Structure 1
Amino acid sequence: MTEPGHEILIKDAVVFLFAAGVVVPVFRYLKLPAVVGFMLSGIALGPYALGQLAHQYHFLEYFSISEPEAAAPFAELGVLFLLFLLGLEFSFEKLWGLRRAVFGAGGLQAGVSALAIGLIAWQVGLPAEAAIICGLALALSSTAIVMQLLIEQKQAAQPVGRAALAVLLFQDILVAPILIFVGFVNIEAGTNLTAVLLEALVNGVIAIVAIMIIGRFGLRRMFSLAAAAGGRDFLMALTLLTVVGAAAITATAGLSLALGAFLAGLLLGETEFKHQTEVDLEPFKGILLGLFFMTVGMGLDLPSILSQPWVILAGLGALLLLKLFIGFGALRLFAGKTPMSIEAAFLLAPAGEFAFVVIAAATAVGALAPEPGGMMAAIAGLSMLLIPILGKVGTFIADRLRAQEPAHTLEEDFSDLEGHVIIAGFGRVGHAVARILAAEEADVVALERSAVNVSRARNAGWRAYLGDAARQEILHSAGADGARLFVVTVDDVSAAEGMVRAFHKLRPEVPIIARARDHEHAQRLIDAGAKEVIPDAVESGLQMAGRTLHEFGYNDETIRDRLAAERDEEYHRIGT
């Protein structure tokens, strides 16, 4: 017979899966980010909403989470997987290149934010120790939510993503010293503070060195052995061991779990098992990270918020404004230009998940009273809920500032050129289009936002230039007035839409051919002015279907006819 505790656990699992499989997709259908969907689900199904009403209406127990604390360990795994997969995308060279932003922008943002918030908390009546803890806790930002949003928007590797990651990495490093400080607040008299700090520092260095040694000299051998022994089951087990093991090593040394997972990802990213690991872990990351966001929502104490709404809203507004200005200043000094700094500062202004850890630790040792601790948690939770909205506001302002920057022109002027093709985006797809057009002796002018891609294209003899094709002055320099065709090959949703809209405004009669990620993106490009749209998902599916039919023995003519009919049907759905 099932024990009562197991019944509650199973019931909570069913409620969570209902939220993940039904409620969150509804939010996504309404154009809300998955992060917001999970957090709102956590609020609604948590102990302060339906869970509170379940005491009066018992049937609501079957629609609410009864034991949120039981989900915490699994939710933590979601954050670990996120940081691990993020580490896979980076390299030690890229990380070393971020050192100025990590220690400059990260250090300045965290230090000044903690000092300013602490002073305000002291001024409103908190004891000095509690005020310092308040400043340290709320100065941190949300690694999980910010990086998940940037990954969803394909901006994690862009300048704004790198700048945000640099600051977040420094904050992750700060978690251990902050928790050590919280423990020192009630430390016994006579304890040698210098010895304790030195021991913590030594333990941290030993932990990082241990992870590096294991990764450099043992990781590839272990994965090769697992692959030779039988494939994906063993590789999955070893991957989980790598993530959790590295996190456990850093946690034992007093550092954050997330830092260990990130280092493990960096090391595994140097091996040939990188891509297989990404594919294997992606589903686990999504569902467990969703559970983490739900636990954040469940942690919002609605009765406390409703009992003192103006106090909490004032604290929320002060926190966001303060961290926004400080973050912008730090990023502008050490990380990059004004538009990017504003965009990243909006993402980093809210508090983060480590605020709850610091508040809980301080409350447990008596350094922070329960009432101010509850208010701090409410402010932190509400601010995290606003991250997707603030991210959109930051992007909107940054785009407007970029549009107002002084006009730039290409190093060569093609404004008098006639009958040529302008290609926006000169990566692999842009190269392929250009090669075919060049074979038919068509003139091509390529615009690319990556200096590296431009350099490679110029070395290969292409007429490629650094410039944003969403800027009308750049399009004029590229010869938009005489262009015969405009081709957009970038896969960034908002960037492609901006390029199509800008060219269509200049030359509405000229055909625009654009690359889209899916049907939804294709429709947006058509609305912006594109004449022909090529969805990657459709073309990939058709190519795979064609190869499959070939393997079944169909002749080439039959395959072409079948794919042509399917292509016409798919493109008819999106109106091209």
Structure 2
Amino acid sequence: MTIYFIQAFIYLIAAVIAVPLAKRFGLGSVLGYLIAGVVIGPVVGLVGDETTTIQHFAEFGVVMMLFLVGLELEPKMLWSMRHRLLGLGGLQVFLTAASAAGLGLLFDLPWTVAVTIGLIFSLSSTAIVLQTLQEKGLMSSDAGRSAFSVLLFQDIAVIPMLAFIPLLALPELVEAAASLQVAAEHHEELNLLAGLPGWAYAIALFSSIAAVVVGGHYLSRPIFKYVASAGLREISTAAALALVIGIAALMSLVGLSPALGTFLAGVVLANSEFRHELESNIEPFKGLLLGLFFITVGAGIDFGILFSEFGLIIGLTLGLIALKAGILLLLSFPFKVKGSDRWLFALSLAQAGEFGFVLLSFSTQNHALPLDISQRLSLVVALSMLLTPALFIAFERLILPIYEKRQSKTQEPDKVDDQGPVLVAGTGRFGQIVNRLLAANDVKTIVFDQSLSAIEVMRNIGIKSYFGDATRMDLLETAGVGQASLFVVAIDDRQRATELVLELKHAYPKLKILARSYDRGHQYELRQAGADYVVNETYYSALEMAQQSMIELGMHPFKATGLRNSFAKTEEKSRDILYETWLASTEDNKFNANYRELFMQFEDALRNANKRERNEGHSLERSWTPPPKGYAEEFE
């Protein structure tokens, strides 16, 4: 028992140390897990042969991930993906398998071995790609949707591959195994449908899928209502785990992919009122198991074979990545994946996948691959997965900036043919509200934004808007910034917003500048740059929510309004003093001990002010409009 505690501690502490460091250096969590595995495995030797067993257990994280992905997809959305799912996914698997098999024949491999290798290399890493795309917020992009379609088809394609590979067994391997009496004494997977005739097998498969779909639709709601009535969080978690594990077990018992079954269940439950609860219960287990899986991939790298045949292994790994990326780039043209999304799509799927380990083991056990080739291919699969985060980094730092520059050059800013008293930089969710209120009160605004879609929205509601970079002074001068009364900064980029305020205040000292900040630190930076008025984008919405919370808890609306105003007044008194303390600090971290101590003093003053407000029973502010007649009856 002690050895299990020690092993668990090693894996967990490696993740705790490596992943935050990888995130801090912009490498992503996946690469952090892989590096942790390499360190505790081949480098230090803290873990050994048990990694293969743990890897099979950790692969359940992929099953959980596909369940969560399914929860995000409505059936209508999945139907809309059918062309890319079958067309793009099918062509990718076929072309990659055929190309890899063709290259294998050039190296004088038997055609059965070449085809087996082609099938293994046609798969990509669902775990790494989806985890990274979600982490970077790229799932909703055209590249993200296309990559997901391909990955989903690959997961489905594993099923016929498992049925086809035993037909590719090499006769000499089968004979050698029989003569040595080592004819596959491995653990046989339990399959309830083994031995059934073809027609009965097909009916049983479709019945199992129908049971998941129909049961998920009609039985899940009463079951989860019953569980929720207990009011125990651990029972809800147990129910969520039982659902995923049960469906995975059912799919395995009939010879289908557990990942496919849980994905279908997720899609069926996408419209359920229990969807968010399921997500919150499953997410921690999914994250830990996926992290454990990535660690075992890194720990399983055999550096002995790698160093003895370094050139061959590295050449095969880079060749595989280049081959798959090239095929994916070609497929992106007919399926209209454009611009930088084309490169993201190609690079994200250029590795081999975790199911490659499953197929390698299965192929060896069924005598379709010699053991020595399987060991080398296992290294290629692991290294290609290890390099995937580096491909994402290359896309972000090398390819994406090129397309952004190209877009800024090819898409010329609109010619400004008007001027107004108010100029607004940025028309996102914050800037739109500012513009709408000003326009509703007949205040003429000139709006700039670098998003064509956002500009079209503003034009459709009759607000003069221009496509262009609001940080370009020549563009602002054409719009009459020198004669303007007011400039509103509402762009999304924190650094560019601060630089714009600094440049505007330097060029036009008398211009009034109002700016949106993201947090308290950004607020101080904008004030330091010269902004006349700064508002935190979440401040007033949070005050509104807090006031409504008190009302929902039974407090009279007038009382809640008084407490809100008391809070705002005390906050306003402290704002300038805290800013001056922050400004006077010469340390890199301006939120130092002096600032924190002063902040806590104001927090105490805030609590005391609100306590007095509650005890006195009247508001410190009397500026709101009296309520209409009959208003009080609504709260009696």
TM-score greater than 0.5 by the shorter chain = yes
- TM-score, normalised to structure 1's length? 0.79
Task: Choose 441-450 or 298-307, whichever is displaced more.
Answer: 441-450
State the secondary structure of the residue aligned to 1:141.
coil
Asked if 1:393 corresponds to 2:394, the answer is yes
State the secondary structure of the residue aligned to 1:157.
coil
8 Å contact kept, 2:205–2:254? yes
Q: Which residue of 1 aligns with 2:426?
A: 424
State the secondary structure of the residue aligned to 1:259.
helix
Asked if 1:560 corresponds to 2:561, the answer is no
8 Å contact kept, 2:141–2:341? no
Deviation at 1:448, TM superposition (A): 8.0
CA distance, structure 2, for counterparts of residue 32 and residue 113 of structure 1: 28
CA distance, structure 1, for counterparts of residue 475 and residue 198 of structure 2: 61
8 Å contact kept, 2:344–2:392? yes
1:135-150 → structure 2 map (5 Å cutoff): 135-150=118-133
Deviation at 1:12, TM superposition (A): 0.6
Please identify the structure whose Cα radius of gyration is greater. Answer: 2
CA distance, structure 2, for counterparts of residue 512 and residue 389 of structure 1: 41
Asked if 1:35 corresponds to 2:30, the answer is yes
Q: 1:211 to 1:291 in 2, by over 3 A?
A: same
CA distance, structure 1, for counterparts of residue 97 and residue 332 of structure 2: 16
Deviation at 1:26, TM superposition (A): 2.7
8 Å contact kept, 2:170–2:368? no
- TM-score, normalised to structure 2's length? 0.73
Q: Which residue of 1 aligns with 2:44?
A: 50
Asked if 1:64 corresponds to 2:44, the answer is no
Q: Which residue identity is paired with 1:29?
A: R
CA distance, structure 1, for counterparts of residue 59 and residue 297 of structure 2: 11
Deviation at 1:402, TM superposition (A): 4.8
Q: Which residue of 1 aligns with 2:348?
A: 347
State the secondary structure of the residue aligned to 2:375.
helix
Asked if 1:255 corresponds to 2:238, the answer is no
8 Å contact kept, 1:415–1:478? no
Deviation at 1:257, TM superposition (A): 2.1
Q: Which residue of 1 aligns with 2:21?
A: 26
Q: 1:404 to 1:26 in 2, by over 3 A?
A: closer
1:348-497 → structure 2 map (5 Å cutoff): 348-395=349-396, 396-405=398-407, 407-408=410-411, 414-422=416-424, 424=426, 426-427=428-429, 429-438=430-439, 441=443, 443=445, 445=447, 447=449, 461=461, 463=463, 482=481, 485=487, 487-488=489-490, 496=493
Deviation at 1:133, TM superposition (A): 1.0
Q: Which residue identity is paired with 1:12?
A: Q
Asked if 1:12 corresponds to 2:20, the answer is no
Residue deviations 1:219-267 (CA, integer Å, cap 9, x gap): 2222222212324333222211222222233333433222222222222
State the secondary structure of the residue aligned to 2:14.
helix
CA distance, structure 1, for counterparts of residue 34 and residue 115 of structure 2: 28
CA distance, structure 2, for counterparts of residue 504 and residue 276 of structure 1: 43
Q: 1:279 to 1:515 in 2, by over 3 A?
A: farther
8 Å contact kept, 1:424–1:447? yes
CA distance, structure 1, for counterparts of residue 499 and residue 101 of structure 2: 47
CA distance, structure 2, for counterparts of residue 142 and residue 512 of structure 1: 47
CA distance, structure 2, for counterparts of residue 501 and residue 562 of structure 1: 27
Q: Which residue of 2 aligns with 1:123?
A: 106
CA distance, structure 2, for counterparts of residue 476 and residue 298 of structure 1: 55
CA distance, structure 2, for counterparts of residue 27 and residue 80 of structure 1: 25
8 Å contact kept, 1:413–1:478? no
The alignment-based identity, stated in percent, is 29
CA distance, structure 2, for counterparts of residue 255 and residue 509 of structure 1: 68
Q: Which residue of 1 aligns with 2:218?
A: 217
Deviation at 1:472, TM superposition (A): 8.9
CA distance, structure 1, for counterparts of residue 344 and residue 498 of structure 2: 22
Deviation at 1:206, TM superposition (A): 3.4
State the secondary structure of the residue aligned to 1:334.
coil
Q: Which residue of 1 aligns with 2:186?
A: none
Deviation at 1:301, TM superposition (A): 1.5
Deviation at 1:314, TM superposition (A): 1.0
Q: Which residue of 1 aligns with 2:614?
A: none
CA distance, structure 2, for counterparts of residue 499 and residue 516 of structure 1: 13
Q: Which residue of 1 aligns with 2:279?
A: 278
Q: Which residue identity is paired with 1:397?
A: I
Task: Choose 532-541 or 82-91, whichever is displaced more.
Answer: 532-541
1:503-522 → structure 2 map (5 Å cutoff): 513=515, 516=518
Q: 1:315 to 1:87 in 2, by over 3 A?
A: same
Q: Which residue identity is paired with 2:447?
A: V
- Which segments of 5 or more consecutive residues in structure 1 lack a partner in the other structure? 1-5, 52-62, 190-194, 491-495
Match of 1:99 among 82, 87, 100: 82
Q: Which residue identity is paired with 1:560?
A: A
Residue deviations 1:107-163 (CA, integer Å, cap 9, x gap): 111110111011112221322111111111111111111111111111112222111
State the secondary structure of the residue aligned to 1:170.
helix
Q: 1:222 to 1:502 in 2, by over 3 A?
A: farther
Task: Choose 243-252 or 561-570, whichever is displaced more.
Answer: 561-570
CA distance, structure 2, for counterparts of residue 178 and residue 231 of structure 1: 43
8 Å contact kept, 2:329–2:343? yes
Aligned residue pairs, count: 537
Deviation at 1:93, TM superposition (A): 1.8
Residue deviations 1:348-382 (CA, integer Å, cap 9, x gap): 11111111111110011111111111111111111
State the secondary structure of the residue aligned to 1:445.
strand
CA distance, structure 2, for counterparts of residue 331 and residue 530 of structure 1: 47
Match of 1:112 among 78, 95, 115: 95
Deviation at 1:439, TM superposition (A): 6.0
Residue deviations 1:18-37 (CA, integer Å, cap 9, x gap): 11223322333333211111
State the secondary structure of the residue aligned to 2:410.
coil
State the secondary structure of the residue aligned to 1:269.
helix
1:527-542 → structure 2 map (5 Å cutoff): none
8 Å contact kept, 2:450–2:469? no
Q: 1:261 to 1:439 in 2, by over 3 A?
A: same
CA distance, structure 2, for counterparts of residue 530 and residue 402 of structure 1: 29
8 Å contact kept, 1:426–1:448? no
CA distance, structure 2, for counterparts of residue 226 and residue 376 of structure 1: 47
Q: Which residue of 1 aligns with 2:185?
A: none
CA distance, structure 1, for counterparts of residue 393 and residue 115 of structure 2: 31
Q: Which residue identity is paired with 1:268?
A: L
1:161-240 → structure 2 map (5 Å cutoff): 161-186=144-169, 203-240=204-241
8 Å contact kept, 2:516–2:537? no
Deviation at 1:563, TM superposition (A): 4.1
Deviation at 1:535, TM superposition (A): 7.6
Q: 1:486 to 1:151 in 2, by over 3 A?
A: farther
